[in-house]
Amino acid sequence: MSATKLLEIYRITAEIHVETGLHIGGSAETMEISGIDNPILRNAADNMPYIPGSSLKGKLRSLSEWANGEIPTDGNVTKPKLDSLSASVFGIPAQNPNSSTPENIKKALQRGPTRLVVRDAFLSGKSRQAFIEGKPLTEVKTENSINRLTAMANPRPLERVLPDVCFDMEMLYKVFDVDGDNGQADRERFETVLLPAMALLQADALGGAVSRGCGKIRFENLLNNGKPIELPQLSSTLNTGH
Q: For residue range 77-133, what is the model confidence (pLDDT) as tens digits?
A: 666 676 788 888 998 765 554 556 666 555 555 667 889 999 999 999 999 999 999
Give me the pLDDT at residue 100, please: 60
Q: Rounded to two decimals, what is the model's pTM?
A: 0.85
Confidence (pLDDT) at 80: 67
174: Cβ contacts below 8 Å, ≥ 6 apart: 6, 8, 9, 10, 113, 114, 115, 116, 117, 186
Distance between CA 65 and CA 63 in Å, rounded? Answer: 5
For residue 164, which phi and psi values (nearest 5 degrees)? 80, 0
Indicate whether 32 pLDDT > 50: no
In our burial notation (b when 16+ CB lie closer than 10 A, e otherwise), range 82-101 reads bebbbbbbbbbeeeeeeeee
Residues 118-176: tens digit of each pLDDT: 999 999 999 999 999 999 999 998 888 888 898 898 888 889 999 999 999 999 999 99
The pLDDT, as a whole number, for residue 90 is: 92
